[in-house]
Amino acid sequence: MDLAATSGYITGLPLLMNVRELGGIESADGRCIRHGLLYRGSALTGLGTEQSSIVDGFGLRCIFDLRAKTETDGQEDYVPEGAEYHRIAGMYDAAGSEMGFSPTAVANFLAMNNDPIEIMRALYISMAHGNPAVHALIDCLIAGKAPLYFHCSAGKDRTGVAAALILTLLGVPDDAIMEEFLLTNAYRAELIENPPSPLPDFIDSIGLWERANGVDEQDLLAVFASMDERCSTREEYFADEFGLDEAALAALRDRYLT
């Protein structure tokens, strides 16, 4: 895939950072998301001077960090001057503790669950229902705190669900949302397609390596299904979940679409 030909591609940042903007994606009503307002990716840690300069060029008003606290210690974001920084974990375990995805945390997660794929799918679904991070992120959009950069550690799972919900909010069709979601596998292809030999002890198959480092469309389809099982329309979902009536939803779309 020629990533440079996609509308969200940003020149100068490593592909593995998984950074792209959502501008240019078409909504069902024929409008497109405005460029330069919504950015998604991985943590802004360890940036060089040139990379920091690129991020400065985004003109960010807000950085929204979906990582657990354990992931941010010693791995703090670069925050451009004038930008707000907010951290609220995007996923929580069964005990209500923040889910982290450091290599150690991933190893522990895989060791503790007989079916990590199903557990991960449930975590995806949990982000669409009563999730404090998603609610706070939508509040940022309502408040007009854009340009906005939202991210987790690798910019794929928590960030992927958050991006899908934002795109749904803006009226983007499911197939276009899925296409954007799966771009992660192209951005992270070098890592996904070149597993170490031998595999880490906590990875028991090439398939699990690919899933741990990429994304699976079935996980996002499960999120869509959970929304549709609860509400007859997506507009009803946003009214029920976020209190956005028809007028508020239209105002948000007017703000972010052109």
Domain residue limits at 32: 3-256
Cα distances from 97 to residues 34, 115, 149, 154, 203, in angstroms, run 36, 20, 24, 20, 24
pLDDT at position 49 is 97
Helical (H) or strand (E) element with 87 = strand 84-87
Mean pLDDT throughout 253-258? 98
Domain count across the chain: 1
| pLDDT for position 106 | 72
What's the CATH number where 50 sits? 3.90.190.10
Average pLDDT over residues 151-180: 98
Q: Cα(256)–Cα(77) distance, rounded to whole angstroms?
A: 25
Mean pLDDT value of segment 95-121: 78
Query: Lowest mean pLDDT: which of 42-51, 98-107, 168-177, 208-217?
Result: 98-107
E strand or H helix at 248: helix 246-256
pLDDT the model gives residue 162: 98
